[in-house]
Structure 1
């Protein structure tokens, strides 16, 4: 069996799910330190736990980060972390530097890495008491070697430094990938506290099953993986609620309204997957280079002014993207949405149910240069192997790991032979903590 847990600001919901997706038990408790929502007395039968929450629902301060860019010089308005909202920028701090190095997206080296400049920046950061680093190199998705070399220099200059490398998280956009890496480095203490608190609560409740955290776009990663890459799982609740509602209804195609206290969010599910988007700001208004779910939003204040017509318009916009999808509503205020009769308890527990039903997911998104179709197939195969290795590292049982999606797209603004490779691997959660 699987246990899904949805940690909110006010309440925590737990759902125990048996074979075939059958709900065995539910529990709703106040959200207090220690979580506390363990439904039923069958904890010894639980094989894995999936937890979903949003950073904004369990807020914490970001820690200072030393952000290093490896690239040619740019105008200060395009420098590292430029354009961040003032509050977030203040928490992350002013330590930023650009050193020569990096590559073009075709893999051509732009300049040798200035290792001395990297070491000098690392020592300056340490002198200021900062030991969290993000490293972002131009062209790192084609040629990650400069980031790996810089990490070696930082680790030697600052023993115990925590380093996030952008090529492990982001995609081709330099500034957005840099933002993603810096935010990941800043979130690690929050991730450690969140996962440690959850694991302690599970042990107090008699559970020995491994903990997994829900990703922003659906799927799970192990608690250990989450501690290293928290930016992948900072806003997972709506994705899990939307997918959980569709799974509970047995619908491969659905339009789901997540009715929360502050806003209504409407998203679609097609072939069991929540619709994605690559645009829009992420946490704190920072532009991130991460996929996210595509959701149309209606603030609660607008709903109070205009009533049901706004809800109908919200649903109609999303239905145009998923024609024929069954309309469902989840969340504490799902009664505001005019849909067919459904179980209110199941609607409130949709996010926890979605987390319980999720698999481990890992993705590879990189740029490759191939002179022939045979070379492209070889590189796509290597990307698939990398995705399989990542999904196992993220907590999947090796025997269950498989490639669920693989695609390549020519990069139109670059010379012929440059392709974007995207691979997604999935697997069942391991019963042994990763």
Structure 2
């Protein structure tokens, strides 16, 4: 049996789900300040006899997704020089920039997306930057190299130099998280490094609350796009799981209704968020503002948003317009609601309790998910097949690292697409692997 918990701004919801996907028990309590307090309260509201059989806990949260402060991070770019307006951290909102700090450098190296080396990595400059950062008391680093999604070697080599110069340094490599755009991928890596202390506190708090509540099952965190990662993986890559509630709610509502094609309205405290599901998958998006208003290049779900502050009259017409906009992208999709205040969503054939518990249900029922998104240069079909096979192996390794039981890991999606704006032979490879949560505690 699995337990899903949704810690929201207004309420905290827990759902116990049996092996066949049936809801065994639900509990709803008012949210209070503090993640641990919310978890302890909702666990106390569940039937004690049932919680003893839980073998995995999936958590999604809005309450503490924004840390009080970002940690300073030393940002290292490996690329040719650029105008200061395009340099590291350029364009960051003032508050986020102040918190992360202005410690950054650009060193020679990197490659084009075709894999052609632009210049050898300047190892001496990397070591000098690492020592300067350590002298300023900064031991968290984010490394982003031009062309790293085709050729990650410069980032890996720079990490080795930093680790030697600053023992114990925490290093985020951009090719493990972001996509093709250098600046947005760099921003993603910097945010990830800045969020790690918060992620450690958050996961530790949640695990302690579960133990106090009598649960020994391992904890998993919901991803921004749905799916889960282990608490240990979340501590290392928190940027993947900082805004997961709507994805969990949309997936959960569709799963509970048995709908492969749906339009789901997530009625939150501050806004209505509407997203579509096709063939069981939530519609995705890429580049856009992330935490603190920083532009990131990270997979996310596509949502149309209607702020509650902007509602006119009852707001019914505006909600109907919101639904219609998304419905045009998903003709024939069944309309479903999620969240605790769905009165304005014109849904008839849906259990209101299931709507309230949609995000928790989605977190309980999700699999472990990991993705690989990279560029490859292939001289023919044989070479392309070999590179796609390597990407599949990498995705399988990542999903196991993210918390999947090895025997259950499998490739759910794999595709290659020629990159039209680059020379012939350059392909974008995308692979998604999934697996069941491992029973080994994180």
Band the TM-score falls in, shorter-chain normalisation: over 0.9
- String of CA shifts for 1:6-64, please: whole Å, max 9, x gaps: 11233221111012111111112233432222222122211111001247655431111
1:334 aligns with 2:342: yes
Conserved 8 A contact 1:3-1:15: yes
Indicate the residue corresponding to 2:47 in structure 1.
40
**Who is 1:14 aligned against?**
14
- Distance in 2 separating the partners of 1:56 and 1:224: 18
Deviation at 1:252, TM superposition (A): 0.8
Query: 1:254 — aligned with what?
Result: 262
How far did residue 342 of structure 1 move?
A: 2.9
Say whether the 8 Å CA contact 2:111–2:151 is kept in structure 1: yes
- 1:306 positional shift: 6.6
Q: Which residue of 1 aligns with 2:72?
A: 64
> TM-score normalized by structure 1?
0.98
In 1, Cα distance between equivalents of 2:255 and 2:410: 21
Report whether the alignment pairs 1:160 with 2:168: yes
Alignment of 1:362-401 (within 5 A): 362-401=370-409
Worse-matched range after superposition: 38-47 or 409-418: 38-47
In structure 2, how many angstroms separate the alpha carbons of the residues matched to 1:55 and 1:407?
36
Single out whichever of 190-199 and 31-40 deviates more from structure 2. 31-40
How far does the alpha carbon of each residue in 1:249-294 deviate from its partner, in whole angstroms, 9 at most, with x for none? 1111111101111110010111111111124211111111111101
Q: Counterparts of 1:100 and 1:258 in 2: how far apart (Å)?
A: 47
- Kindly indicate whether the alpha-carbon contact (under 8 Å) linking 1:8 and 1:31 is maintained by their aligned counterparts in 2: no
CA 91–372 in structure 1, closer or farther in 2 if over 3 Å, else same? same
Q: Is this contact kept in 2: 1:391–1:425, CA < 8 A?
A: yes
List, as ranges, runs of 4+ consecutive aligned residues in structure 1 with deviation greater than 4 Å: 55-58
1:50 aligns with 2:58: yes
Counterpart residue number, 1:303 = 311
1:229 corresponds in structure 2 to: 237
Q: Is the CA contact 1:8–1:57 (under 8 Å) kept in the aligned structure 2?
A: no
Partner Cα distance (1:321, 1:164) in 2: 36
Residues 137-193 of structure 1, C-alpha deviation per residue, up to 9 Å, x if partnerless? 111111111111111111111111100000111111101100100000001011101
Q: For the residues of structure 2 that align with 1:144 and 1:281, how far apart are their CA atoms?
A: 25
The corresponding residue for 1:142 is: 150
Partner of 1:31: 32
Distance 1:55 1:279 in 2: 24
Alignment correspondent of 1:127: 135
Deviations 1:75-100 (A, max 9, x none): 00000111111111111111011000
In structure 2, do the counterparts of structure 1 residues 349 and 31 end up closer, same or farther at CA, with 3 Å as the change threshold?
farther
User: How far apart are the structure 1 equivalents of 2:220 and 2:437?
Assistant: 8
Q: Distance in 2 between matches of 1:216 and 1:140?
A: 23
What is the alpha-carbon distance in structure 2 between the residues aligned to residue 59 and residue 65 of structure 1? 15
Correspondent of 1:239 among 235, 239, 247 = 247
Q: TM-score, normalised by structure 2?
A: 0.96
Give the number of aligned pairs: 434
Q: For 2:297, which of 280, 283, 289 is the aligned residue? A: 289
Helix, strand or coil for the counterpart of 1:383? helix
Cα displacement string for residues 342-378 of structure 1 (whole angstroms, at most 9, x for unaligned residues): 3322211110100000000000000000000011011
Aligned counterpart in structure 1 of residue 222 of structure 2, from 192, 202, 214: 214
Unaligned runs of 5+ in 2: none
Q: Counterpart in 2 of 1:177?
A: 185
Aligned to 2:199: 191
Counterpart in 2 of 1:354?
362
